Amino acid sequence: MMIPENMFDQAVVPAAGPHRTATHTSQLPFPTVTPDIPKVYHQYSTEVGHKTLWVVCVVMGVSSLAFYIMAMRVPVQKRLLHILTAFITTTAFLSYYAMATGAGVDYHTTIIKETKLHVVTELVRRQVFWARYIDWTLTTPLLLVDLSLLAGLNGASILVLMFSDVVMILTGLFAAFSHNEAQGWGWYAFACLAYLNIVYQLGYKGRYAVSTKDTKTKAFFGAISLFTLALWTLYPIVWGVADGARIINVDGEIIAYAVLDILAKPVFGFWLLLTHDSMARTSPSIGGFWADGLSSEGTLRVGDVHGDD
């Protein structure tokens, strides 16, 4: 990006001679160029954000240990939700450890202002915690499987639900690393559309599937699914005012996501598993290969359901 300096004239006086007089002529301007350096805004976390990451890392680690212990205290047929939930917080623990130690963090530059000639005049260089998106790509489908099994959602709906979830997270990642604001908001719109399909699959089809179950299960699914969808609605709002519009700083972004992650993972997990264990006779139970392994004939048996004696 170059701009010309001010033009200048240079006086030229020819050599004197018997038939020549001194004249004043103007030489063609000789342009020079200097780089047009854009203004760069740096946005990064401070000690407050760093300590917050470590606090959440510890919370996720302790919650994971608790969930594994809870899993060992129930029959293997009733253990699927425990294991899935423990995987969720274990992945989150690794993600927060990566972010706290600086392994899951990068800087991304976004163009925020340029001239009609596409000369960039203002840039923002902001920390992006890409480990968070890997975390969400792995954990949010598992969380949806928890809720789907609780509701008794069919396999086709579960597949659509998980695909929409992965699309939502990946488009959010693309938005975070977009080169300009227009591109970023475009990816953000795709993520929101995918989320609306999640709301439809879980909120509408999930409620329809659970309607055939007992009253306690229906009430529990209604409460915990509403809790989950309400929390998930806040995530794109935080993204919009943080990475998107940059209204809040990086520390504010870290704290906001930390609160949401604790509510959406450890709090959700304890609520789900404690209630699941209290409804031992009506909660999902899986036998077959999950509980018994391969049969003596070497065939794979999946789908047998063992109830409690």
Count Cβ atoms below 10 Å from residue 43 Cβ, excluding itself.
Answer: 16
Q: What angle do CA 243, 53, 191 make, to 5 degrees?
A: 35
Nearest C-alpha neighbor of 283 from the set 207, 220, 209: 220
Q: What is the signed CA dihedral for 227, 229, 235, 238, rounded to 10 degrees? A: -70
Q: Is the dihedral of CA 69, 70, 74, 76 positive or negative?
A: negative
The residue type found at 143 is L
Coil, strand, or helix at residue 107?
strand
| Distance separating alpha carbons of residues 108 and 180, to the nearest angstrom | 11
Q: What share of the chain is helix, strand, coil (3-state, %, to 5)?
A: 60, 10, 30
Nearest C-alpha neighbor of 106 from the set 70, 134, 145, 78: 134
The pLDDT value given to residue 122: 77
Structure tokens at 177: 């690393």
Cβ atoms 79, 71 nearer than 8 A: yes
The pLDDT value given to residue 289: 65
CATH fold, domain 43-104+129-282, is Rhopdopsin 7-helix transmembrane proteins (1.20.1070)
| Distance separating alpha carbons of residues 130 and 123, to the nearest angstrom | 20
Nearest C-alpha neighbor of 40 from the set 142, 164, 125, 100: 125
Count Cβ atoms below 10 Å from residue 12 Cβ, excluding itself.
Answer: 11
**What average pLDDT values come out for the chain (309 residues) when binned by 10 residues?**
40 45 50 64 87 98 97 87 96 97 88 71 85 96 94 92 96 91 93 96 92 90 95 96 91 96 97 87 66 57 48
Element (H, E) at 127: strand 120-128
The pLDDT value given to residue 79: 87
Which single residue is written with the structure tokens 């609520």? Answer: 271
Cβ atoms 263, 238 nearer than 8 A: no
Which residue stretches of 21-154 are H helix? 47-72, 80-100, 130-151
The pLDDT value given to residue 252: 95
Cβ atoms 86, 71 nearer than 8 A: yes
